[in-house]
Amino acid sequence: MVKIWQGTIELNLKLFKFHSLNFKNTNFKKFKSDLTMKNILFDLKLTQESGQTSQPPWQEIANCVNGYCDVMTLDNTPILLKVYQKSINELNIDYELPISNKSLEINKKLIEKEITRIYDLNFDLNKLYNHMAEDSKLSPAIDFCKGLRLFLAKDPFECIISSISSANNSIARWTKSITKIRQKWGEDVKFSSGTFYTFPSPSVLMNIYEDNFEEYEACNRTIETEYCINNLKSCGVGYRAPYMMKTSELFEFEMDLFEIPKMSYEEAFDLILNLPGVGPKVADCILLYGFGFKEAFPSDVWIKRIISHLYFNGEDISVPKVREFGMEKFGDYAGYVQLYLFHYARKSGLMKKLK
């Protein structure tokens, strides 16, 4: 049994904040991070904006070039983490404490450890480039993607629910859904910079109304159905709603998120394939972007088009075959190769050509 996150039910629908944040007059604490000094090859902007499937993008900071922030729970305390980069090889980290908890002391090593995990900063990109350079199909991708790293989800449970909602869906649409879920059922944390919402825990998510009808019945039919907005389907997840609720229930009662990192890739894959709404593509996204299993080669229609164009003369290859091919050919680099190929295809115009 697992109960990791605290969550309170927030029933008021808040307006979306799509604009960038403005950080004038705020209480950010700067600290000299060891990461700043390490001279790590890392392009923060490229990584943040590469559209990796794991969680909604972090918020851009208006008055800060290449600055991003999001709330995350460290040591059971939500803090607002801000990362920015003035030049490649140099990463700056600031953080802000909740208004209600400003005297708190935060362990800076913990923040650095988390940032290192999220951006995979211990991974040697030059080793990857040497490997890619040996394959004439992959070598053009290197220059398009210098400094691109894996971008892991800060919250594995949110990653799982996000990935389920990403199936047969567009990035813009599932991102909106997850943002609504955070705002309706997550914990709202107030910072000087504004209010941020954490993602609800499995125990909260398994108990919400699934659709208008359930909510209407629970209100003893005292409201009009068009005012039923505190249910999962009102977030635009469609037929994925029951999958998400059932998965929440499984993590509350039967499965343990902390067991997954201890497993082999194959064990973990077989396990999460049993979750409702999770097929091979979603399972691989969860393992790669939620848990950092780099052997995963998430294969969707786009990767299928790219692989069949590059390696099979445009011949139609089934998605399961593409996955098999990628895992076999790229081994421990499969996840990174998938990420680099996808980004390369987007930037080089190959994607448009393949459509």
Partner DNA sequence: GCGCAGGTATTGA
Partner DNA sequence: TCAATACCTGCG
Considering only CA atoms, which of 6, 8, 12 is closest in space to residue 180? Answer: 12
Q: Which residues bind DNA (CB under 7 A)?
A: 167-170, 172-173, 176, 233, 236-239, 243, 275-283, 300-302, 318, 320
Considering only CA atoms, which of 91, 62, 96 is closest in space to residue 79? Answer: 96
Question: In whole angstroms, what is the distance from residue 333 CA to residue 212 CA?
Answer: 45
Amino acid at 271: L
CB-based contacts of 147: which residues, under 8 Å, 6+ apart?
A: 41, 42, 43, 46, 47, 88, 125
Least distance to DNA from the beta carbon of 160, Å? 12
Q: Is 319 exposed, middle or buried (0-12, 13-18, 19+ CB in 10 A)?
A: middle
Least distance to DNA from the beta carbon of 287, Å? 12
User: Of 158 and 300, which has the nearer Cβ to DNA?
Assistant: 300
User: Of 11 and 172, which has the nearer Cβ to DNA?
Assistant: 172
Considering only CA atoms, which of 291, 306, 288, 290 is closest in space to residue 346? Answer: 306
User: Of 49 and 210, which has the nearer Cβ to DNA?
Assistant: 210
Least distance to DNA from the beta carbon of 27, Å? 35
Question: In whole angstroms, what is the distance from residue 44 CA to residue 69 CA?
Answer: 12
Query: What residues are paired with 77 via a beta bridge?
Result: 74
DSSP 50-106: S--TTSPPPEEBTTSTTEEEEEEEETTEEEEEEEE-SSTT--EEEEE--GGGTT---
CB 113 within 8 A of CB 75: no
Catalytic residue check, 281: yes
Least distance to DNA from the beta carbon of 233, Å? 5
Catalytic residue among 281, 294, 329, 347: 281
User: Of 62 and 301, which has the nearer Cβ to DNA?
Assistant: 301
Least distance to DNA from the beta carbon of 283, Å? 6
User: Of 98 and 335, which has the nearer Cβ to DNA?
Assistant: 335
Cite the active site residues: 281
